[in-house]
Every structure is written in C-alpha cells, then in structure tokens.
Amino acid sequence: MNNEKVVVVLLLVTIILSILSVVVTLAVPRGEAASDNTTVVQTGDPDGTASVQFTIGQSPTAGAG
C-alpha cells in the first residue's frame, strides 16, 4: 500500500470516528431536572344556613298572641 492510500484510509478512519462521536453524544438522553408544579384545587363551602321558627297560636282569652 503506498503512502497516498494510507493517508486516505487514515482520513476515512478519522471521519468515521468523528461521526461515531457525534452519534454517541446525540444518543445520550438530555437530562432534565424534574419540575413538578402541582396545584391542589379544593373547593370550599363558605356558607351555612340555619332556621329559627315558632308559631304564635290563638290565645284562649284574646286575639293574636
């Protein structure tokens, strides 16, 4: 093998290794720190009602009340 062919082979090896380096680098998954932004939505019940009641009956000796 003459010198020219050796040079060509070496350059091809260089190119292949460079391509492999790029491929390996790109193949590594890019790590991303976990980022959770969770909102807990809770609905409240800010109202309450109560009833007050009574009945005014007819007095045996008078009218209303």
Judged by CB under 8 A, the number of residues near another protein is 52
Per-residue binding string, another protein, 35-64, x by CB under 8 A, is xxxxxxxxxxxxxxxxxxxxxxxxxxxxxx
Six token digits for residue 3: 């010198």
Q: Does 1 bind another protein (CB under 8 A)?
A: no
Find out whether 64 and 56 touch, Cβ atoms under 8 Å.
Answer: yes
The single residue listed with the structure tokens 């609905």 is 43
The single residue listed with the structure tokens 């009340």 is 65
Site residues, another protein (CB under 8 A) = 3-4, 6-7, 10-11, 13-14, 17-18, 20-21, 24-25, 28-65
